[in-house]
């Protein structure tokens, strides 16, 4: 019997990928009472065993520790982006639901193949980012839906920085295919916009690249130079199915650092917390003044919240919020953004998504909701 066929009690989880990001995931997943982390697998079996031991997970070793365990119901895929689709397809073939780190894939064809395989097997694929499930974006969404700014009309997002090469010891991959400011950090902003304004239907864009070569600024490789193969500044205009629009900048070419997301409506403007975090103050600006809201929640949200929400959705038989279809739509928007810049004309976005309802205000990751 496949792992996904098991029902009742905490959802049994296996983690594939024991790299740096697995530490934060394992720290959190092992604290959620509705999850039971059973194994960590990696091509580097020793590294997987070390991570399993560090977080009290019963087993660690090669990827077979996860794929061959019929009791494991859900695989958390923390591999490098180039491997996301292949590893997720292996998990589906083993009868397990999948949580993918972002992005869900690197091209439309592979992502659609993954979602079709999951659907044919009666399994779920969900994907990061899950920061939008934190109290920051969730509270902002409730305010917008409650009429705090009237009818939403426009949005502004700014992600500006000089780039990560000054502090990242191995920044090369962040300036190559599948990364850059759009694919690396764009998913946070675009996912938040879709939550607040609905699916995107069209994009116009321009791109540029400040330098063809950059230099590692810290760590043992400091001073080494590497090629930049993707745009490092992306400026886009997005149109939404509901009639709203957004202007967005994603840049590694700015000496001024900004992380902004704002939505303006007929009656005011809401300034939303950094979508790369789970919380933060929300400010509603109106003609008669401004009001600051500090979101509260029963417990702090953290990386891995989406895995838990997926697990609870599987048990309840309802759609998950950080769905594969949401991840596919955001990926399609990003690919369409680059295509629009290359062609010099607007590009229609072929995919769409039904945006799931906001989380209940009393949703608590630290409470056991799944019986034995």
* Rg over CA atoms, the chain: 21
DSSP-assigned letters across all residues of 162-182:
S-GGGT-SS-GGGGSTT-HHH
Distance of alpha carbon 190 from alpha carbon 215, whole angstroms: 29
- pLDDT confidence bin for 1, thresholds 50/70/90: very low
Indicate if the pLDDT at residue 6 is higher than 60.
Answer: no
3-class state of residue 250 by DSSP: strand
Q: Three-state DSSP class for 305? A: helix
Cα distance between residue 224 and residue 140, in whole Å: 43
pLDDT, position 228: 95
- Model confidence band, residue 70 (pLDDT cutoffs 50, 70, 90): very high
Q: Cα torsion at 235, 240, 244, 246 (round to 10°)?
A: -10
pLDDT for residue 89: 98
Closest CA to 117 of 130, 133, 98, 136: 98
**Residues 23-45: pLDDT tens digits?**
999 999 999 999 999 999 999 99
For 316, how many CA atoms within 13 A lie in the half-sphere containing its CB?
13
Confidence of residue 345 (pLDDT cuts 50, 70, 90): very high
Q: What pLDDT is attached to residue 298?
A: 78
Mean pLDDT computed over every residue of the chain: 94
Please state the rounded mean pLDDT for residues 87-98.
98
Q: Is residue 311 within 8 Å of 34, Cβ to Cβ?
A: yes
pLDDT for residue 67 is more than 70: yes
What pLDDT was estimated at residue 177?
86
pTM: 0.94
Q: Give the pLDDT score at 8.
A: 75
> What is the distance between the alpha carbons of residues 354 and 340, in angstroms, rounded to a whole number?
24
Segment 275-316, tens digit of pLDDT: 999 999 999 999 899 999 888 887 778 999 999 999 999 999
pLDDT tens-digit series, residues 199-229 = 999 999 999 999 999 999 998 999 999 999 9
Categorize the per-residue pLDDT at 7 as very low, low, confident or very high, splitting at 50, 70 and 90: low
The mean pLDDT of 87-91, rounded to a whole number, is 98
- Give the C-alpha separation, 230 to 242, whole Å: 31
Q: Which has the minimum average pLDDT: 1-10, 70-79, 118-127, 237-246?
A: 1-10
- Domain annotation for the chain: domains and CATH numbers: 3-127 (3.40.50.720), 132-293 (3.30.360.10)
């Amino acid at each position: 019997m496949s792992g996904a066929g098991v029902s009742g009690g905490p959802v049994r989880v296996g983690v594939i990928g024991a790299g740096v990001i697995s530490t934060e995931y394992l720290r959190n997943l092992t604290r959620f009472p509705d999850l039971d982390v059973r194994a960590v697998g990696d091509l580097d079996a020793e590294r997987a065993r070390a991570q399993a031991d560090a977080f009290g997970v019963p087993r660690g070793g090669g990827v077979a520790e996860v794929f061959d365990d019929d009791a494991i119901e859900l695989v958390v895929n923390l591999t490098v982006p180039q491997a996301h689709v292949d590893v997720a397809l292996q998990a589906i073939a083993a009868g397990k639901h999948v949580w993918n780190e972002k992005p869900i894939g690197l091209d439309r064809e592979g992502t659609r193949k993954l979602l079709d395989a999951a659907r044919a097997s009666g399994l779920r694929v969900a994907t990061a980012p899950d920061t939008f499930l934190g109290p920051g974006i969730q509270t902002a969404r409730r305010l917008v839906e409650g009429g705090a700014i009237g009818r939403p009309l426009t949005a502004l997002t700014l992600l500006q920085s000089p780039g990560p090469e000054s502090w990242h010891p191995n920044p090369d991959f962040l300036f190559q295919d599948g990364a850059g400011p759009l694919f690396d950090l764009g998913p946070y902003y675009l996912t938040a916009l879709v939550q607040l304004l609905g699916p995107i239907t069209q994009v116009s864009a321009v791109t540029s690249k400040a330098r063809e070569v950059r230099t590692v600024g810290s760590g043992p490789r400091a001073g080494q130079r590497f090629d930049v193969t993707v745009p490092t500044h992306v400026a886009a205009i997005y149109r939404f199915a509901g009639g709203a629009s957004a202007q967005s900048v994603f840049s590694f070419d700015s000496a001024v650092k900004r992380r902004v997301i704002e939505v303006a409506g007929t009656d005011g403007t809401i300034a939303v917390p950094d979508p790369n975090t789970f919380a933060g103050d929300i400010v509603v600006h109106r003609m008669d003044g401004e009001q600051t809201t500090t979101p509260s929640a029963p417990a702090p949200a953290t990386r891995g919240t989406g895995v838990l929400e997926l697990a609870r959705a599987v048990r309840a038989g309802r759609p998950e919020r950080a769905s594969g279809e949401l991840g596919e739509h955001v990926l399609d928007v990003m690919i369409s953004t680059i295509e629009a810049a290359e062609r010099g004309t607007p590009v229609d976005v072929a995919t769409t998504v039904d945006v799931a309802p906001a989380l209940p205000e009393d949703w608590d990751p630290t409470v056991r909701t799944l019986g034995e």
